[in-house]
Structure 1
Amino acid sequence: MSEKQQITLKTRVYIDGYNLFYGLLKGTPYRWINPLFLVEQVLRGILIPGQYKPELTPVAVKYFTAAILERFARSSDSVTTQSDYWRALSAHLGTRLQIIRGRYEARPARAHLCVPGRPARLTDLVDIWKLEEKQTDVQLAAHALSDVLVDGVEHAVFVTNDTDFAPLFEMIKSTSSARIGLIVPSSGSERRAVNQELAVRADWVRSSISEQDLLAAQLPWSVRLPAGDYAIKPLSWYPRPDLLSPILAEAKRVKRNLSSAWRWLHEPSPYFDQQAPIALCNSETDVQKLHEYMSKYARDFKL
């Protein structure tokens, strides 16, 4: 069957934000991700059994997540960076992406210490905080099932590796003719085992995402918001914030304001073979060249 004869399937993508972050993005410089672009890359290489071709709906991606509780945040900027990322997504992708939020709940609890080689019942009980994500998974399942049964979605693609969604896959299969795709949020370098309870119920599986795919699917470093201000990729989300931070501070001093400093860092420069200075902030050797250039510039112009 030729490409012209392929039948298109009304396709929507459901992203388990927690699984995406902890399975693929945490600790990487790729957290400023454009999920729509990422799934479009994946779908271009997918052959659905029966020679069907995916066609994303106007609301292409539903992204399920929850706001970080500040008192449990691991970094001082976690709440702010998450909010900036959400604002950038909404502004850049508009109605093509819908963010659906659950919430976190924290409560005091008691738990046994983990002591290797000893049964839990024989270890001491200690006071802990139990942090639980509420409604996120339920909302994902409810949206997906409603979209298939009511909105006519013919091809539901899930970005997750969570066993909890196996009953949802089973329900979709038993109540509709919709196809199911599974994208496992795992990198090629640290590939997680594909959840077989999900895989056996899916029509196709993408077992990992390459670093090249992640790099290509980044949002612009600066995204204009509806009010006229900008959401900027957080400093802590770059590959080497420890190297970038002093460079940014010096650029801000010379350029007089932070926005001009960021802009200079991202503009190709003839002094660095048309590379943007930001590209030199990933290694000690390259950043030293940048320091030397900036010091000479400041001396020459008495800044």
Structure 2
Amino acid sequence: MPASASSFAAALNAARDAAGAQDYPKGALYVVATPIGNLADISLRALHVLELADRIACEDTRHTQALLRAYCIDRAGDRLLALHQHNESEAAARVIGWLGAGERVAYASDAGTPAVSDPGARLVAAVREAGHRVVPLPGASSITTLLSAAGSTREGGFVFAGFLPVKAGEREAAVAQLAAEPRAVVLLEAPHRIEALARSLAALGDRVMTVGRELTKQFEEIATLPCSALGGWLAADAQRSRGEFALVLHGVAEAAHQDDGERVLRLLLPELPVKTAVKLAAEITGAPRNALYEAALRLKNESAGD
């Protein structure tokens, strides 16, 4: 057994101890959140249910089988059912049949929480309509992961927009609607479309955004910058166009904080070191410190060029 598998096996034992005594009714669908990148982010209850379930429906059987094997959960291939966006309605009928026979069925998408931007919503609706119980097992989500690092929801909450339309005209129309949204907005994007999204988001100009790439993985990157700068940020490193993306457009109030922050910086920078000026400006205005630091460096460079 590889060393990594051995360490994960200890987690499975801990899951049995921590979650094994809880009630897991038969004839129920268990919606299981799985890691978005870092395998260690799975919950103990999720591990126990994946081992306990009679069947596992999953977006990609190969992906889920790899997760199961990493944690030393032995599951025969005929106990896994592929359930994805192209066959969700048909596969849901099979799941309902198993639930009717009193089996426990778990559903896991490839990464994160099912039925949000991944498949699963039709399955859950069909199971509920058939009169069976749905048990959610919370866990990893790229949405809340990035929001927790963006600091953009202090006022007004947030809106989840997910993936914008693929066609350029429809995507630009969607961005135009987002421009009028005062709350923070969470977007998701695939690597092969991130540059096109950056071109569309450039229309939002100086509105502040936080971009997260490869969240929870070894090469995770999180940056806060104006929407107009996203294309340049991607172009600065060829690796940045790879991996899955989550993005947060900060609320309009946050953008106003940023404008206030830059005005305060212009007053403080001639008198104080950059780090001190940024710290004070962030405390005074509430603007994100990372964005203020970038603004301070820009202002310093502009001053040096004069």
Using the size of structure 2 for normalisation, the TM-score is 0.25
When you count helix as a share of all residues, which structure comes out higher?
Answer: 2
Using the size of structure 1 for normalisation, the TM-score is 0.25
